[in-house]
Amino acid sequence: MRITLGALQSLKEAAVQAGTGPKLVGEARAVSAAATPDQTQRLLRWEGTATGGRVAALSVSAENALGLRLGVQVNALPEQAVLRVYSQARPATVYQILGKDVLRHVLRNTQAEGSTSDARTWWTPEMRSDEVTLEIELPMGVPAQAVDIALPSVSHIFAELEPSAEPTVEAKINESGSCNLDAVCDAGLATQSNAVARMLFTVGGKTYRCTGTLLNDARGSGTPYFLSANHCISSQAAASSMQTDWFYQSSGCNARALSSRATTLYNGAVLLYASGSTDVSFMRLNDAAPAGAFFAGWDASATAQPGQAPVVGLHHPAGDMLKTSKGLVVGQTSCFSTTGSQFGCIGDTGNFYRVAWSAGTTQGGSSGSALFTSDGRYVVGTLFGGAASCSSTSSPDYYGRFDVSYNQALKNWLGVQSSGESSSAALITPFEEILRVLRTL
């Protein structure tokens, strides 16, 4: 059965969203035809399979959408069910998940947030298409009535999520400001760049972009700890909805093409800690880190001598391919959220660093990205926001202090570093990944 939605009426207003904070790329839309479990069940036309089971599919399309995420509200679902998500334009590209794994997402959400509609919603992966099909297959002996789901909303993606080779849309390849610096051009950051991922997540049906960083722990265990901002991911439901794009970099210095290494993880994360005091969000990915990813080191001591501490940022401004910024920590301050994505900072002490850029800048989508020491070896902060831009290069940005976040909570997972030392970092190679998986069997 197919549900067709018209064009997004608020597209013009949504498209002009600018400034710091998460980059809005998708709007919530109601699906009245499948708003309740009874309506959805009537739309699912169950047919027999060759193995004696049953299968049904529901297709949703939206005019002019550049992508869709289906918000599947789960009341009951057989553990043995197999769910497949694909676009009928590309049926060979299929995301598949077991019912028990969807239930695990929902259980994790409801345990953290109660049995709200948001907590019971599983967001399908974004398939880069204006049509998405959800297929459910049940094994022999499992009745169709055991599936109790609804599809009350979708997230309509209105922003280009991938670079395109089409000359007519060349501007979509590098949407960020012209003063941003291609990270691939800096050979000294080649390894550290492999720790950074572009994030896509959905909150209340709206979909956003931010940036996060893979962190090593003191033991070098290979646990995929992931650092971002509280104003990006502050709830378990948001963390569950997250997918991450790795090696999302240009194919060469200032090349207007995406690297062939780019890969996506779809299965979200467990939110371990989130706090507005340093605007930190700390998670553990549900997927293993991809082969070739780098586990960034960190320094839990305060950055000394403000004004003389050079730093580097690695981030995805406007959701663009990986960029770098270079500057100085010029002081400390106290920052606080006000309304919407607005905030204020006062004083010369506090839980945030004030950073002045000498090259490059940040934009919406850079939020949550890590601030590194000048050699790129150690994380010392996470981006809260600021007024820096290509047209305002003297305006500062503000980063939550990693040392404060570490001492407040992150040390419980990252472990204790020796006095005067910073954590080491590790590169996960394909062979090491195989060994690590085998050790868990």
- Summarised one tens digit per residue, pLDDT across range 183-206 is 999 999 999 999 999 999 999 999
Average pLDDT of the residues of the chain: 89
Name the residue with higher pLDDT: 315 or 175. Answer: 315
Confidence check: pLDDT of 156 > 80: yes
- pLDDT band of residue 427 (cuts 50, 70, 90) is low
Q: What is the pLDDT of residue 194?
A: 98
Q: Are residues 207 and 149 part of one domain?
A: no
> Could you report the per-residue pLDDT of 338-383, keeping only the tens digit for each?
766 678 899 989 999 999 999 999 998 999 999 999 888 999 999 9
Q: Are residues 226 and 344 part of one domain?
A: yes
How far apart (Å, rounded) are the C-alpha atoms in residues 40 and 301?
Answer: 54
Q: Is residue 7 part of a domain?
A: no
Q: Which amino acid is at 154?
A: V
Q: Are residues 328 and 186 part of one domain?
A: yes
Q: Is residue 18 part of a domain?
A: no
Q: Which runs of E-coded beta strand occur in 79-186? A: 82-87, 90-98, 121-123, 131-138, 148-157, 181-182
Number of domains in the chain: 2
Q: Are residues 398 and 263 part of one domain?
A: yes
Q: Are residues 47 and 142 part of one domain?
A: yes
125 phi, psi to nearest 5 deg? -60, 155
The number of angstroms, rounded, from the C-alpha of 351 to the middle of its chain's C-alpha atoms is 24
Domain end among 129, 157, 185: 157
Confidence check: pLDDT of 70 > 70: yes
Could you tell me the CATH number of the domain that includes residue 110? 2.60.120
Q: Are residues 141 and 188 part of one domain?
A: no
Predicted TM-score (pTM) of this structure = 0.91
Q: Which domain holds residue 58?
A: 24-157
16 phi, psi to nearest 5 deg? -90, 0
> Could you report the per-residue pLDDT of 93-129, keeping only the tens digit for each?
999 999 999 999 999 999 999 999 999 999 999 988 9
Q: What is the pLDDT of residue 371?
A: 97
437 phi, psi to nearest 5 deg? -65, -40
Q: Are residues 114 and 177 part of one domain?
A: no
